[in-house]
Amino acid sequence: MTAPSGRARTLVRVFTQRFTSTRRGARLARQLALVELHAWGFPESTALSADTGLLVAELAANAVRHGRVPGRDFELKLTLLEELLRIEVSDARRDRRPAVQPHAHQAESGYGLRIVDAVAADWGVTDRIVGKTVWAELTRRPCPPAGSV
């Protein structure tokens, strides 16, 4: 991977897991993302972990609600680089592309991508052979020294 500055990005860790396209699968994706970050040295008390939990919850919920294809799972991928954490949620529907919409007065839903847009340093959508991937990036500090967390 190459950063916008042209510098090569150094890969630190990767976590990939498929989940059922259900509310339970979305909840499990968030929980496992936080467990994985904790194993990487970022406990739940850190800002990176809190923001990751929020973004995974929103993206996984959208994959289940808008990207669900019967019999197909969604996939969560976390990629930890020296300067950022990239969160990717892939589903099987390409025809439902997410976008931040104007908010309707007194609406009970529709805040998800507004939250993603506010929390993430950058986010977007890429097509896959089957479906799409919605990704978000969080900037971070370098890994804490071993045993310091």
The letter for the amino acid at 122 is D
For residues 139 and 81, what is the distance between their CA atoms, to the nearest angstrom?
A: 9
- Say what the pTM is: 0.80
CA 49, 116, 123, 128 dihedral sign is positive
For residues 78 and 88, what is the distance between their CA atoms, to the nearest angstrom?
A: 6
Which DSSP string do the residues of 5-39 spell out, in sequence order? TSPBPPEEEEEEEEE-SSHHHHHHHHHHHHHHHHH
Is residue 109's pLDDT more than 80? no
Enumerate domains of the chain plus CATH numbers: 11-139 (3.30.565.10)
Instruction: Give the per-residue pLDDT at 25.
Output: 95
Q: How confident is the model at residue 125 (pLDDT cuts 50, 70, 90)?
A: very high
pLDDT mean across residues, the chain: 83
For residues 23 and 38, what is the distance between their CA atoms, to the nearest angstrom?
A: 23
Q: Which pair of structure tokens corresponds to residue 57?
A: 């919850």
Is residue 107's pLDDT more than 80? no
Cα distances from 108 to residues 51, 100, 103, 104, 105, in angstroms, run: 22, 15, 10, 9, 9
* Between residues 121 and 44, the one the model is more confident about: 121
